[in-house]
Structure 1
Amino acid sequence: MDRFAALNAFIVVVEHGGFAPAARRLGQAPSSLTRQLNALEESLGTLLMNRSTRSVTLTEAGQQYYEEARRILEDLVNADRAVSELSGPPSGLIKVTMPMAFGRLHVAPALPAFLRQYPQIRLDLHLNDAVTNLVEDRLDIAIRLGALSSSNLLARKLAPHRRIICASPDYLGKHGTPGEPGDLARHNCLLFDYQTTEHSWTLARDGKRMKVAVTGNLRANNSEVLREAAIGGAGLILMPTWLVGADIAAGRLTPLLENWTPSPGAEEGAIWAVYQPNRRGSRKVASFLDFLSQHFGSRPYWEIKQN
């Protein structure tokens, strides 16, 4: 029995839900996969899966074996990749996930230049505002904004992440300009409603923090919707400079309460690339992160014209 082929067949059968789809994926006959799985179970002395005419289900032993077998094969693939990357230009597939608005505004425009510079690299991008599991989704890199939760992932800072309160000149001309945090309660604040129902803005200065309950007539779980509404004069927004920096530079939006820092502030404060420890030596991953870091700049281009 070819142990590697048997392990791979087992994993593909599990992940494709049956022998027929797995056989199509591997370009083999279902009977060949059945023989490999039978030989694997016989060598282990235990039943790994329950078979029916329609599907397969894992036994308790099969579930444990699947998790270990998948890890072993991934380690082997990573080892092969690490050795192959020692010579020649970076190459291969990079799977990356990132927040939708940030990816569209600041990563997508840079992709043609990256692909010209590294023609042997292929990119598979997933724009998604949910926090994904790199291991389960078999991703190489996740770009995340703000504070990172504790994990065993490695993190590299690509750029600062700073938020600011702003509004259009038209809105401020009609409703006045807030001079201190408490004034926010009297303004129409457009609210980002993604995974939260609490609507308060906290600002800090000289060790002092003020939490202000804010209300408004528009809530959205998409930051670009709120940006467009603010430019149109609908109210105040609290948004990252990577989203509104160009609008402030062009005069479409005016920054407010600049002596106060929205909290969490500097401590939350970065656009991160996170990746698994086994990607540490990957030249293709390093090339992509180096490129993005240089593209954004030590002081990000979206803040160059900020005070």
Structure 2
Amino acid sequence: MDKLRSLEIFLATYDHGSFAAAARACNTDPSTVSKAVHRLELQLGLTLFQRSTRKLSITAAGERYAHTVRKMTKELAICEDELKYSNDTPSGKLCISAAVCYGHLYIRPLISAFCEQYTEIELVLEINDLHVDIIENNIDLAIRTGFVKDSRLVARCVSPMDFLTCASPQYLANHGTPGCSDDFHQHQWIGFRIKETQQLQPILLPNSQGEYRPFSLKRNHITDDGETMAHMCVDGLGFAQLPHFLAKEGLQNGSLVSLYPCYRAPQPESGVFVIYPKRDFLPAKVRVFIDFLTHYLDDIGESANHTWAKNWSPLITFSNEGK
């Protein structure tokens, strides 16, 4: 029998004045009550009740112990109620870590509306590309453009990553539009260096059937920052393959054009993921943020299996490529 259960039986015995009455209150039998009280007395080295054939009397030590135990169990009950309330109610500090580009472009714009709706949540937003241990660093939720393999964590995909082959209208006016994939050897290319591996992001280009294949091209310019790559593309420094969330603004305002239909990162672990510690009861503050994000994505045409980029009209279609 655990110590807390023994203390509950002790208080019931004190309140009801007999082992039999305590047994009824605790839904057990008098023998179990007697053994529980005796076990406490052995642990304390004190007599808590004076026993006689006719009645049970609390000792001075037992009186003091009952007062302390009652205070402790009351505080424990209050604490449990408060914890349950905080877990069931969207409130308290919510620490979010978001990847830099996605954080700036997708997370930051929805923060004001989220905080206005959930006024009891104190938001802490960290914007960085570091793959930190979110459990060790007390992070409630991380948003990463890539899957994290960790059995302690839940990784929920909120959207795939669709890439678009982009250039600025001015670049195409100055240098011409490639008629097929081989023509890219005559054009400038902006490469992206992955900070974690220091490798260059591979370039995939379509054949005449629309099948994307890795393509070896010289990168004339290289950066390890996604937003910088998008701006370099807008500034006319060459072609770049941009994830949908980086290409969106430029395509919508006309400062970029997409040469081909988008392609999806081939690895199943490539996408935008919401990552949080695995637990039986997800705190309400985490749950409502995930719901808020997914509703926001749905409003802009994105889901776990789809992005708006699939419906974007490219400059070149596969049927006329190379003609």
TM-score range, shorter chain: 0.5 to 0.7
Cα separation, 2, equivalents of 1:262 and 1:178? 21
SS of equivalent to 1:155: strand
- The yes-or-no answer on 1:231 pairing with 2:231 is no
- Partner of 2:125: helix, strand, or coil? strand
TM-score normalised by the chain length of structure 1? 0.65
Structure 1 residues 27-66: aligned runs within 5 Å: none
Q: Deviations over 1:262-306 (max 9, x none)?
A: 5427x3453210111127521110001111111121623983772
**Alignment match, 2:292:** 291
Structure of larger gyration radius: 2
Which is worse superposed, 277-286 or 107-116?
A: 277-286
Find the counterpart in structure 1 of residue 247 from structure 2.
Answer: 244
1:306 equivalent in structure 2: 312
Partner of 2:162: 162
Residue 224 of structure 2 aligns with an amino acid whose one-letter code is N
User: Which secondary structure state, in structure 2, belongs to the residue aligned with residue 294 of structure 1?
Assistant: helix
Aligned to 1:99: 99
1:65-92 deviations in whole A, cap 9, x for unaligned?
xxxxxxxxxxxxxx887622365x4111
CA distance in 2, matches of 1:221, 1:107: 21
Contact in 1 for aligned 2:102/2:245 (Cα 8 Å): yes
Q: How far apart, in 2, do the equivalents of 1:86 and 1:94 lie? A: 12
For residues 182-223 of structure 1, what are the alpha-carbon distances to aligned partners after superposition, in whole Å with 9 as ceiling and x for unaligned? Answer: 333332111111333346412467795521122233211111
**2:272 aligned with 1:271, yes or no?**
yes
1:134–1:94 distance in 2 versus 1, CA, 3 Å: same
| Offset, 1:128 | 0.6
Q: Which amino acid aligns with 1:135?
A: I
Q: Report the counterpart of residue 130 of structure 1 in structure 2.
A: 130
Could you tell me the percent identity over the aligned residues? 27
Q: Counterparts of 1:270 and 1:199 in 2: how far apart (Å)?
A: 15
The alignment covers a number of residue pairs equal to 226
Q: Which amino acid aligns with 1:271?
A: V
TM-score by length of 2: 0.62
Distance 1:194 1:142 in 2: 19
Q: Choose which of 260, 263, 267 in structure 2 pairs with 1:261.
A: 263
Unaligned runs of 5+ in 1: 1-78
**Superposed counterparts of 1:78-89, under 5 Å:** 83-85=84-86, 89=89
| Counterpart residue identity of residue 250, structure 1 | N
Contact residue 99 and residue 128 of structure 2 kept, 8 A: yes
What does residue range 82-231 of structure 1 map to in structure 2 within 5 Å?
Answer: 83-85=84-86, 89-146=89-146, 148-152=147-151, 153-195=153-195, 196-198=198-200, 200-203=202-205, 208-231=211-234
What SS is found at the alignment partner of 2:215? Answer: strand
* Cα-to-partner distance string for 1:145-197 (whole Å, 9 max, x where unaligned): 14x14222112222332111100011112222223333333321111113333
1:164 counterpart letter in structure 2: L
Name the residue aligned to 2:57. none
Look up the match of 1:55. Answer: none
CA distance in 1, matches of 2:210, 2:312: 24
